[in-house]
Chains A and B, each alone.
Chain A
Amino acid sequence: MNLNILLLIPLLTLAALFAVRDAVKVRWISFAGMSIQLVVSIVLLFAYLGYRGIGISTPLLFESVYSWYPSWNIHYHTGVDGIAVAMILLTSVVMVSGVLISWNIQSQVKEFYILLILLGLGAYGFFIANDLFSMFLFFELAVIPKYLLIAIWGSGKKEFNAMKLVLILMFGSSLVLAGILGTYYQTTIVGGNASWDLMTIGALQIPLAAQQVLFPLLFIGFAVLSAMFPFHTWAPDGHSSAPTAGSMFLAGISMKLGGYGCLRVATYLFPEAARFYSPYIIVLATIGIFYGAFVTLRQKDIKMMNAYSSVSHCGFVLLGIGMLTQTAMTGAVLQMVSHGVMTALFFGVIGMVYERTHTRMSDELGGLLKVMPFIGTCFILAGLTSLGLPGLSGFVAEMTVFVGAWQVNEFFYRVATVLACMSIVVTAVYILRASGFAMMGPVKNPAYNTLPDATWNEKLAAVILIVPIVLIGTTPFWLSEMVSSSAGIWMSKLLTSLP
């Protein structure tokens, strides 16, 4: 199958959106477009598994290469491996439920959906692209519309927070830009011929001195999106101001763009430098995990809570990448998928609660489970996934990261792993406390007694997100096999580069 269909569907949806005015039509067209996209993504998954099943073991499947700028040797190169397929599935799931969650938006509906789908387009493009030029193009496309999305439909100090978010993310992307151009320069020196293609550059032997300059640029640049400490401050502010679907995209997909970039671009292209910088990554990731968890403890605003816990959870992704073992890398990708779905569900539910109660303070809420059983159940389910209850996706992902991390037999890495493990206890504290305050106990505010439960669109959105959580939690093998075999190809390059 041609991967460009993944871009074509959002593009056609956008074109259709431009043509209509009516808000109802806008919603249905967006829903239809994103549903088709979800179906295509599932078809892609089965096609991928099928091709792997019959023993095709090229690193990328469904490749297509189009010459774009011959004089620069820029080719538009698409292709997916297991990691990309997982990410595409994640994006599709979050996009559909994001469209459903935003059903009640009243002002400028058309513009809202256009921006949301534009963001999705950027994410799809980023995941299927295999040349640095197109990757960067889609990467920035998945950042800029967030500004308008937050600044127009957000809440609180939305203008400031939107600007802060976009500027910090774009700072990251400027580092990536410099890193990519530096990489291109190295290919002209080492390879004798300019190249932007990931596979081609991956085959070159770039000298360690150059790698040591380029790796931090690319890694930090992408990790800013993953809210790596100390570049995480955009996350809580941005999330707390973003509209629900914006938060879902931001935490569910956009933060994963960062992790994916760290893995796919920085670590793959510069394995020696990755090994060199690995202790630093581990330190920053562990600080992020721990710091994020403890700051979350102090949050009364449940949206802020989930935003900070995202910082903590994304720390696991960076920890998994920094460990540089196949299992840990698989775990990092699983964590990306799991956290993406979980956090989207969490933000979705928080949005539903806020829409009804108009407060996000956990001590003002209370007993909502009685009033709104569906929403309450989803809230607790998302919480349990977040703290890593076995049977749900969070457990599988974090377990894999820890097992992979434990494989590194060095004191320093052991300490980091133990510390990271311990943060799960803190996670349990804040999740259980928030659930207890907001969902259990007596109904604090009598006005809440009459609140309606989830509507059909909200239920559908939640179910679409719960299915993968349970599916990964109970039968993780299809996903971890798929990711692991692709991570193996990554690893083989890493191992051959050992001194």
Chain B
Amino acid sequence: MNVRELISVMAPEALLSAMLVLLLLIKIFSDKIRTSKVLLMTSAFFLAAAVAMLFLLPQGSVFGGMFAVTPLIGIEKAILLFATFMISLQAFEWLSSYKNYVEFYMLLISILLGMFIMISSGHFLTFYLGLEMATIPLAALSAFDLEKPRSGEAGMKLILSSAFSSGILLMGISFMYGTCGSLYFDDVKAMFTGSTLQMAGFVFLVTGFAFKISVVPFHLWTADVYEGSPVAVTAFLSVVSKGAAVFIFLGALYKVFGSIAATWTYVLAILAVATMVVGNLFAIRQQNIKRFLAFSSITQAGYILIGIASGTLQGTASVVYFILVYLFSNLSAFTVVSIVSDRTGKENISDYNGLYQSNPRLSVAMMLALFSLAGIPPTAGFFGKWFLLAAGMSTGMMTLILIAAINLVISLYYYLKVVRAMFVDKNEEPLQNIRSGNAARLALVICSAAIILTGFFSFVYQYIYSFSNGVQ
């Protein structure tokens, strides 16, 4: 391992670390630098890093295989970076009036750094290291709104449930070490015989992952944390954090536990059904738009599990593709929520009544986002869902696909309820016409365009597909 190899393989991590140091310096001189300049620079950095990732796509392994990247992981990192860029656009206004904005970015970047290490790990130790690096700043970020008690509560809930799930994960990892004598993914894979102790360890591992992806029955923290956190953090939690957890779950299952694919296919199918049904049923009753989106994102995790359950090349590609599509749809919805919440402080679905009359553009963007989440053509969400279900079909479980399809109708019901609030319902005192900031507007334009166009241009999927692989 020479320095050049180290830098080429760990380029994104190196970039993020450099940015972190730069932000530290900026913090020292923050009195003399205009806020908007820093915000612009950091946003631009995320975008540039995401684009650079797509061109570099590093490949190779360092630290004796503890840190190994493939082009697919490069794409995943680019997706996460791009999502962070969108969140940074969406939070632009909120941050520019916030005195601790540099800390926000520092926390954001350290989370990203942790996630990157996590998804490119080839060893359970680096995996755990990355996971914790991501989790602790995440809790700090949740508690970032210092004036709101709910935000603090959200942070506390997140750190407690994360600690609990990390504990379970560690338990699983220690079982693996106990039976295999090594923590390298390759060694565990080679030594995996499916003995009782190993299966117990496997169950603990899956439970730990399920916590992070907020799969039912490990989802209870989600709604409270989403509701309490600042909108930008909620968006980050629902897209980036969940996305990274899905990526590593996918990687670990396919890379390490490929030999018991027949077993975890069923496990995932059952979890997927529970997640879709419970997420849907709870989403119907929500009044708060953030809680509503929280349950909707739980439901989406159910569909993602179907894609993972397939264990095929198409499964990998469709899951990564779906996360990309989900990024656009969910962030678009959250951008509207953050604009409305920033200007009016209102976060209930009933506050959106008659929004189309006063804010037609916001409403249309929101509608597109919701339709994309519901999987209605011609939005990108339709293509994403279709591919997930088609990949899941390779398991041959017709019932699973039927349940998923019927759940799509249930979810349509509550997405339409929000659409109805905006377009149909009358409001005594509608929200005033909101002039959103340029950055947020840019975020909405990018997301809406992507929602409409991504599906029709197949090269996005084909590009991801060309680097994907199934169970090894």
B105 within 8 A of A: no
- Whether A178 contacts B401 in the complex (CB less than 8 A), given A152-B424, A163-B416, comes out as yes
Number of residues of chain A lying within 8 A (CB) of chain B? 33
A147 touches B416 (CB 8 A): yes
C-alpha gap A167/B314 in the complex (Å): 30
A181 adjacent to B412 (CB under 8 Å):
no
Contact A178 B386 (CB under 8 A): no
Bound-state CA distance A190–B325 (Å) is: 32
Q: Is A277 an interface residue (CB 8 A)?
A: no
Contact (Cβ within 8 A) B462 A70: yes
Query: Given B401, B405, B420, B462, which contacts A69 in the complex, CB threshold below 8 Å?
Result: B462
Of A137-145, A254-262, A449-457, the one touching chain B: A137-145
A213 lies within 8 A of B377 (CB): no
Confirm or deny: A184 has a beta carbon within 8 angstroms of a beta carbon on chain B: yes
A188 at the interface (CB under 8 A from B): yes
Asked if B177 is at the interface (CB within 8 A of a chain A CB), the reply is no
Q: Which residue of B lies closest to A122 (CB)?
A: B377
Complex CA distance for A171 and B411, rounded to whole angstroms: 11
A213 nearest CB neighbor, chain B only: B398
Could you tell me the distance in whole angstroms from the C-beta of A98 to the nearest C-beta in chain B? Answer: 21
CA distance A133 to B383 in the complex (A): 10
Query: Which of chain B's residues have a CB closer than 8 A to the CB of A178?
Result: 398, 401-402, 405
Q: Judge if A465 is at the interface, Cβ distance under 8 Å.
A: no
Find chain A residues with CB under 8 A from B393 CB: 181-182, 184-185
Check if A293 is an interface residue, CB within 8 A of chain B. no
Q: Does residue A16 face the partner (Cβ distance < 8 Å to B)?
A: no
Q: Output the least CB separation between B202 and chain A (Å).
A: 28
Q: Mark B56-93, 1 if CB is under 8 A from A, else 0.
A: 00000000000000000000000000000000000000
Mostly, the A contact residues are helix
> Known contacts A72-B314, A144-B371, A151-B420; is A185 also within 8 Å of B406 by CB?
no
Q: Which residues of B contact A170 (CB under 8 A)?
A: 408-409, 412
**CB neighbours of B226 from chain A (8 A):** none
Question: What 0/1 readout, one digit per residue, does chain B (394-425) give for beta carbons within 8 Å of chain A?
Answer: 10101001100110110011001001100111
B390 within 8 A of A: yes
> With an 8 A cutoff between CB atoms, is A28 at the interface?
no
> Given the complex, which residues of B lie within 8 Å of A182, measured CB to CB?
393, 398, 401
Q: In the bound complex, do residue A141 and residue B405 qualify as a contact, i.e. CB atoms below 8 Å apart?
A: no
Partner of B386, one of A133, A141, A163, A188: A133
Identity of the chain A residue whose Cβ is nearest the Cβ of B389 in the assembled complex = A181
The reply to whether the CB of A337 lies closer than 8 angstroms to some CB of chain B is no
Closest chain B residue to A108 by CB distance?
B356
Does A95 touch B at the CB level, under 8 Å? no
How many pairs of residues, A versus B, come closer than 8 Å at their CB atoms?
84
Q: Are B377 and A72 in touch, CB under 8 angstroms?
A: no
The chain A residue sitting closest to B406, CB to CB, is A174
Q: Does B461 interact with chain A (Cβ within 8 Å)?
A: yes
Question: A470 in the interface, Cβ–Cβ < 8 Å?
Answer: no
Contact A185 B377 (CB under 8 A): no
Asked if B396 contacts A185 (CB within 8 A), the reply is yes
Bound: A12/B87 CA distance, A: 34
Q: Is the Cβ of B412 less than 8 Å from the Cβ of A152? A: no
Docked CA distance A185–B371 (Å): 27
Q: Mark B359-394, 1 if CB is under 8 A from A, else 0.
A: 000000000000100001110001000110110011
User: CA of A151 to CA of B418 in the docked complex: distance in angstroms?
Assistant: 13
Check if B465 is an interface residue, CB within 8 A of chain A.
Answer: yes
**Within the assembled complex, what's the spacing in Å between the Cα atoms of A21 and B412?**
31
A175 located at the interface, meaning its Cβ lies under 8 Å from any Cβ of chain B in the complex? yes
Contacts of B420 in A (CB 8 A): 151, 159, 163
**B458–A70 touching, CB < 8 Å:** yes
Q: Is there an interface contact between B398 and A148, defined as CB atoms closer than 8 Å?
A: no
A68 on the interface (CB 8 Å rule)?
A: yes
Interface of chain A residues 129 through 157 with chain B (CB within 8 A):
133, 136-138, 140-141, 144, 147-148, 151-152
Task: Take A140-B376, A140-B382 as given contacts and tell me if A166 and B461 are in contact as well, using a CB distance cutoff of 8 Å.
Answer: no
Cβ of B178 to closest chain A Cβ, rounded Å: 40
A184: min CB distance to chain B, Å? 6
8 pairs across A/B with beta carbons < 8 Å? A70-B462, A71-B462, A72-B387, A148-B419, A163-B416, A167-B412, A171-B406, A177-B408
Interface pairs A-B: 9 shortest CB-CB: A174-B405, A137-B377, A178-B402, A178-B405, A151-B424, A185-B393, A177-B405, A71-B465, A170-B409
